[in-house]
Chain A
């Protein structure tokens, strides 16, 4: 019974993924689309990523961090700096990940930040 229940829950969560990701193109019905919405959506990609990521870097235990001993700040800063230095030369994003982790892991595992 519990197993069946779990399977049902997992299936429902999969349906939730489909419904949210496809929400406005599931049905063929026409959708009125005001011009301001069209313009506003140009900012949605970067705004969404920023809203996901900035709290992952600056929030700890549900509040803005208050001390500087946090590996995440330095890793993100070094990674972003590398990106802007190498911009347009290919693999800049890959470098952001590798260099950022090279800063993050020693600070976190070594110093416990």
Chain B
């Protein structure tokens, strides 16, 4: 967590923030348009602001707001948010060996703040969980710094969007800057043939399954990419073989 001196005084905290700088404009634009969209789909400014500060998950906020505005039953709204967030459950398997040695409240705090980009940057920076205490502290400090910058930028931009929603036309499509930020991050991740295959398979499967409700096409994309890449590894077409 960013408020623990053991984390924010650690050099890895700044390193985590530094990795987030280049994508920050994309996060601002995305946060801004999420704030605008919540108010424009019929939520009051107060509720939209509370959603921004407490829920802190853009895609589930955008899925839930029209349902809340339309008076959908509580459990339907909740189930929707859960399904839209299913990819985070996959991420949590991956993060588990990095976090299990910390007390539960610390895990929950930092886990709550770890959105897509922080997860991706973190496992790229630390491909294997550290075995010693110093390494584990560096990991937690990096993740705290990275998530802190993401959180601050998103919150400010999103609240600006909530309070200025009437002045910003959604038709400009400023939120596309967020998509472009992820395009850049995907490019930076696609440094091996297998990873490029994973990106292609996942994207194609997510488009093919786009008719599924509750953004379940995202989970279908991840599952398809992981399954196909594991099969390809078994046939010998893995990263080592293709590099040799």
Binding site for B on A (CB under 8 A): 5-14, 16-26, 28, 31, 33, 36-37, 39-59, 62-64, 71-72, 75-76, 79-80, 83-84, 87, 91-98, 100-101, 104-105, 108-109
Contact = CB atoms under 8 A, between A and B. Distances in A.
Contacts of A18: 108, 111-112
B96 interface: yes
A17 B180 contact: no
A56 B173 CA distance: 12
Given A25-B92, A51-B221, A16 B85 contact: yes
Contacts of A52: 59, 87, 116, 182, 206, 218
Contacts of B116: 48-49, 52
B176 interface: yes
A96 B78 CA distance: 35
A13 B79 CA distance: 9
A62 B213 CA distance: 11
For the complex of A and B, 8 pairs with smallest distance between CB atoms: A51-B221, A54-B203, A93-B184, A96-B184, A47-B225, A22-B111, A20-B85, A47-B202
Nearest to A88: B188
B153 interface: no
Give the size range of B's interface with the partner: 35 or more
A49 B182 contact: yes
A54 B206 contact: yes
- Summarize A's interface: helix, strand, loop or mixed: helix
Most chain A CB neighbours (cut-off 10 Å) among B59, B115, B225: B225
A93 B22 CA distance: 6
Contacts of A47: 198-199, 201-202, 221-222, 225-226
B178 to A, nearest CB: 9
Given A13-B51, A43-B195, A53 B226 contact: no
B75 to A, nearest CB: 9
B112 A97 contact: no
Given A13-B60, A47-B225, A48-B87, A21 B92 contact: yes
A26 to B, nearest CB: 7
Interface in B164-189: 172-173, 176-177, 179-189
Contacts of A101: 176-177, 180
Interface stretch (B6-14, B99-107, B135-143, B155-163): B99-107
B210 interface: yes
Given A6-B47, A18-B108, A104-B173, A55 B64 contact: no
Contact of A51 (B55, B96, B206): B206
12 contacts: A9-B78, A13-B57, A23-B92, A26-B104, A31-B93, A40-B226, A43-B226, A49-B182, A56-B179, A79-B184, A94-B22, A100-B176
A94 B47 CA distance: 33
Interface string B200-226: 111111110011000001111110011
